[in-house]
């Protein structure tokens, strides 16, 4: 397959490549969210919201506004409980994500309809993409990343095309994915490739593409 002047081969992940690929995915993810990481961490931690509440209530007591202080306390308490529940769910999901990343080869190799592909250029892995079958006619796109020195040369586009072609042969009519709002390059690419945003969360976005 030709991608902007370079010749790439797309094939399935081999067992001995799994840890190299995991490191590549992790560094790709970190680069995109690094500048927002501190803010994300703060807002995700329920304790962060308690601090916000504490500061607001302190301000209210300084300005002698009892009503504002009680309304704020109630709001902060609700936020704290909601955040705490979301945080438990987030940790639970991260646990499974870690299991997946620890052994990508087994995770994708042993699940029917799930695949993990790598893009190889002159023997070097330069990009990755995975597909996780979520129902008879739907699959989730995951783990797309391209080495920084090979970006903006259509490598990810080739991987997406490959994935879509595979879906066509497997009766997958809907490809969906979740990404973070901070992965702006990826969002632009997905939109260009025909994905639409289906749901927006605080930090995350759900997107999908119908293939037929």
Ligand X SMILES: CC(C)(COP(=O)(O)OP(=O)(O)OC[C@H]1O[C@@H](n2cnc3c(N)ncnc32)[C@H](O)[C@@H]1OP(=O)(O)O)[C@@H](O)C(=O)NCCC(=O)NCCS
Asked if 21 is part of the footprint of ligand X (rule: CB under 6 A), the reply reads: no
CB of 210 to ligand X, least distance (A): 19
By CB under 6 A, tell whether 192 contacts ligand X.
Answer: yes
Q: Which of 157, 163, 144 is nearest to 193 (CA)?
A: 157
Q: Is 28 in the site for ligand X (CB under 6 A)?
A: yes
Interhelix angle 184-192/155-170, rounded to 10 degrees, is: 50
Taking CB under 6 A as the criterion, the residue among 49, 179, 205, 207 binding ligand X is: 179
Applying CB under 6 A, which part among 110-118, 132-140, 179-187, 201-209 lies near ligand X? Answer: 179-187
CB contact at 8 A, 157 and 54: no
How far, in Å, CA of 34 to CA of 30, rounded?
A: 5
Q: Does 154 bind ligand X (CB under 6 A)?
A: yes
Q: Which is nearer to ligand X, 81 or 199 (CB)?
A: 199
Measured from the CB atom, is 83 or 153 closer to ligand X? Answer: 153
Residues near ligand X (CB under 6 A): 28-29, 32, 144-146, 151-157, 179, 183, 185-186, 188-189, 192
């Amino acid at each position: 397959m030709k991608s902007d002047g370079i010749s790439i081969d797309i094939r399935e992940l081999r067992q001995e490549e799994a840890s190299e690929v995991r490191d590549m995915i992790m560094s790709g993810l970190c680069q995109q969210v690094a500048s927002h990481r501190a803010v994300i961490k703060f807002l995700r931690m329920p304790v962060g919201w308690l601090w916000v509440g504490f500061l607001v209530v302190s301000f209210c007591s300084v300005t002698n506004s009892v009503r504002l202080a009680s309304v704020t306390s109630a709001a902060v308490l609700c936020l704290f409980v909601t955040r705490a529940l979301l945080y438990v769910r987030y940790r639970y999901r991260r646990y499974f994500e870690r299991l997946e990343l620890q052994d990508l080869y087994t995770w994708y190799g042993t699940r029917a309809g799930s695949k993990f592909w790598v893009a190889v250029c002159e023997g070097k892995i330069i990009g990755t993409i995975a597909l996780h079958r979520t129902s008879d006619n739907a699959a989730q796109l995951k783990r797309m990343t391209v080495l920084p020195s090979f970006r903006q040369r259509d490598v990810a586009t080739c991987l997406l095309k490959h994935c879509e072609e595979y879906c066509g042969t497997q009766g997958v009519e809907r490809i969906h994915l979740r990404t973070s709002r901070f992965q702006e390059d990826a969002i632009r690419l997905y939109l260009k490739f025909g994905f639409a945003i289906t749901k927006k969360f605080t930090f995350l976005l759900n997107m999908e593409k119908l293939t037929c």
